[in-house]
Structures are given as C-alpha cells and as structure tokens.
C-alpha cells in the first residue's frame, strides 16, 4: 500500500473509529512512517545521551544492496514490517509467505492492542500505527515473502488486468516499467562474481513483491499473473475487495484500542461508511488523486463529523526534523517526549516481539 492508504486512509478510519484528531494523526503518521524511516544510525548528545534510529524501510540503493547481499537486513526489516509471515504450509519458505489476515497477523494485532493500552502515555499510538501498517500490508502483499526466495518470482509476460480506464491501465504499466528500471540491480551486475560467490540472489524479483512492481499497491486494481517457480496461477487478485476488508478490520482494531485506552470519542459504524470507503478505494487514478478523494470525503463529512483542525497533510520531514534536532536539545532526556522517539520505541518493540517471541512460539526462527 502507498501513502493514500497508509496515512490518509488510516487517518480517516481511525477518526471514524472514535479517535480524536491529535491521536488519529499520530497513529496514521506512524503507519506511513514505516515506509519512510530509513535511518539506522545513532546520534550522541553533548550530555552523553544517545538517540538510535531503527530502520523500518530502505531507500532505493539500500533495497538493491539488501536484495543482493544482506539477508540479515531482510529479516530485520522486510519480514516484520512489510511481509508478515502467514505461517501456512510445510516448509519454512512457505510459512514465511505473507497471508491475508492470517491467524498469526491477528495474534500480533491482539497483542499490540493490549500492549498499546499499557503504554498509552508513552508509545501506544505509535505502536498502533505500526500495527496498522503491518496488518494492512497482509491484505496487499499476500503470496510473497520478505526473504529472498524463488517463490517470489513471477512470469513477467503473464500479467492480466481488469481496468475500466485504458489510460489508467497504460499508466500503471508505465509505472511498472519505471519500477523495473529503478530497481534494475546495476550494483548486482557490476559485482556479479563477488555476489554470486556469496550465494546471494541476482534479482529484486526474488525479494518481496519486486517482481510485480507496485501492482499490489494500487487499491483499484483487479489483476492476475503466473508464479515462475511452480507455474501456478495467482487467480484474480481483487485489490479493492481486499483493501475494503482491511479498512473494516482496522476500524475494529482502532475502536477496541480507543475503548480499552479510554480515549474513544463518538465512533461511526463502519457499515454506514462502507460504500463511501469502497468508492474511494475503487477510484482508478494516480496516488495524488486518490489522496484528494480521501481529503474531500473527510472535509465533506462523508466519513465522520469533521473538525476544523483535521490533519489533512503528511510530510515525513516533520519527524525527521525532530530527529535532526536531538543534539540541539538542552537535555537528551527531552527526546523521549518527541513523536519520532516514540515511533522508534514502538518499532523496536514490534520487531523484537515478532522475531524473538511470536515467530519462535510458532516454530519459525529467522533471526
């Protein structure tokens, strides 16, 4: 999913579930920031304090290098944050494949709601945002895993689309070509021998959904393809139907958290906004137009009773500036009150819970 869903859609659903503007904004910001937090470094304050950032995503160059040589980073970033294992099948490779709304994902959701209530005055909202990102991605990334695997590879000539607007179809196909050019592993080609000697994969198509570009991230798209490894048909993947289901599930989760944390306002029943949400998701358009549709629906009161201060814009730079200003604080302890610090607290909790508690509990040891 992209920013139209991870921030704007998440924000709208959180507000409809009864969260106040300020709480819904932090939650939605954290959900989107999972795709923007690429720093994995530390800053030292003059008083000796330290702020360490934990990467939950990668920049383009890092993604290429990651796909080529660094299987540890795949397991620290791609597995827990973007391709939550579905735990279905016999082999480890099969069990690592992301599955839509899996039992394992729901167990994670239940745990995070409980924990977020316990730390509601600390990083509870940030944790709910990270949960929202990870859980929502199971509805779009299903069938692919976050580790290099030939099971992720797709026959590029097998794509079939059900799109009403042919101009939009041409647009998304053009985006796919751009995606392949952007992620063509020049780094890999130039270093083929050294990489091959390490037994690494020689294509981004073996990692995550790189082989299908951004097709899983188009809310309106109905599409299908053939997996290379066993020549199996994916069947029609109806993104609109899956995204709508994700919105309904998130509405339930946000409502549970708000009620248990005693911060719930006046929720709106999902059934009463289901058609509006479905219409927004089904809009055949580029990302900026899809964002506009969410903003317009919020402003018009189509989803809930809007307030004058609705958080209708996102910029990753706000939290990045908080991180950059760490060394200028009078005392390093002031950092714990910053939203970006709470995000990284939540990110470390989610990563360690997933990799060191939940997955091993189910017999999956990947790190």
3-state secondary structure the chain: CCHHHHHHHHHHHHHHCCCCHHHHHHHHHHHHHCCCCCCCCEEECCCCCEEECCCCCCCHHHHHHHHHHCHHHHHHHHHHHCCCECCCCCCHHHHCEECCCCHHHHHHHHHHHHHHHHCCCCCHHHHHHHHHHHHHHHCCCCCCECCCCHHHCECCCCCEECCCCHHHHHHHHHHHHHHHHHHCCHHHHHCHHHHHHCCCCCCHHHCCCHHHCCHHHCCCCEEECEECCCCEECCCEEHHHHHHHHHHHHHHHHHHHHHHCCCCCCCCCHHHHHHHHHHHHCCCCCHHHHHHHHHHHHHCCCCCCCCCCCCCCCCCHHHHHHHHCHHHCCCHHHHHHCHHHHHHHHHHHHHHHHHHHHHHHCCCCCC
Q: What is the pLDDT of residue 169?
A: 78
For the chain (367 residues), the mean pLDDT of every run of 10, in chain order, is 97 98 98 94 95 85 53 88 96 95 98 98 98 98 88 85 83 69 47 37 52 87 90 94 98 98 97 98 96 98 98 96 96 98 98 98 96
Q: Tell me: the pLDDT tens digits for 110-139?
A: 999 999 999 999 999 999 999 999 999 999
Say what the pLDDT of residue 189 is: 37
The per-residue pLDDT for 8 is 98
pLDDT score recorded for residue 164: 84
pLDDT for 175 equals: 66
- The pLDDT of residue 195 is 34
Predicted pLDDT of residue 151:
79
Residue 22 is predicted with a pLDDT of 98
Q: Can you give the pLDDT at residue 246?
A: 98
pLDDT at 263: 97
- Give the per-residue pLDDT at 349: 98
């Amino acid at each position: 999913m992209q920013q139209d869903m991870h921030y704007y859609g998440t924000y709208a659903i959180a507000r409809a579930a009864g969260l106040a503007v300020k709480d819904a904004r932090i939650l939605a910001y954290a959900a989107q920031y999972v795709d923007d937090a690429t720093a994995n470094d530390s800053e030292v304050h003059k008083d000796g304090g330290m702020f360490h950032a934990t990467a939950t995503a990668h920049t383009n160059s890092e993604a290429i290098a990651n796909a080529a040589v660094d299987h540890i980073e795949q397991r620290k970033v791609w597995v827990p944050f973007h391709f939550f294992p579905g735990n279905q099948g016999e082999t480890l490779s099969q069990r690592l494949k992301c599955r839509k709304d899996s039992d394992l994902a729901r167990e994670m959701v239940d745990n995070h709601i409980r924990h977020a209530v316990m730390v509601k005055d600390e990083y509870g909202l940030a944790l709910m945002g990270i949960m929202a990102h990870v859980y929502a991605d199971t509805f779009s990334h299903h069938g692919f895993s976050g580790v290099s695997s030939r099971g992720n590879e797709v026959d590029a000539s097998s794509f079939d689309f059900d799109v009403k607007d042919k101009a939009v179809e041409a647009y998304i196909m053009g985006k796919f070509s751009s995606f392949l050019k952007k992620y063509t592993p020049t780094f890999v080609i130039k270093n083929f021998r050294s990489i091959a000697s390490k037994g690494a994969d020689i294509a981004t198509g073996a990692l995550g959904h790189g082989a299908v570009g951004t097709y899983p991230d188009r809310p309106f798209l109905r599409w299908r393809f053939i997996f290379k490894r066993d020549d199996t048909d994916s069947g029609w993947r109806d993104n609109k139907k899956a995204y709508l289901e994700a919105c309904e599930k998130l509405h339930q989760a946000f409502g549970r958290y708000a009620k248990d944390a005693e911060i719930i306002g006046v929720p709106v029943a999902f059934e009463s906004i289901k058609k509006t949400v479905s219409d927004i998701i089904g809009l055949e358009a580029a990302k900026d137009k899809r964002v506009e549709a969410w903003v317009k629906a919020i402003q018009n009161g189509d989803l809930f009773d809007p307030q004058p201060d609705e958080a209708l814009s996102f910029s990753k730079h706000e939290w990045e500036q908080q991180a950059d200003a760490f060394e200028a604080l009078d005392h390093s302890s002031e950092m714990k009150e910053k939203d970006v610090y709470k995000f990284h607290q939540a990110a470390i909790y989610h990563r360690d819970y997933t990799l060191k508690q939940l997955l091993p509990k189910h017999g999956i040891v990947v790190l």
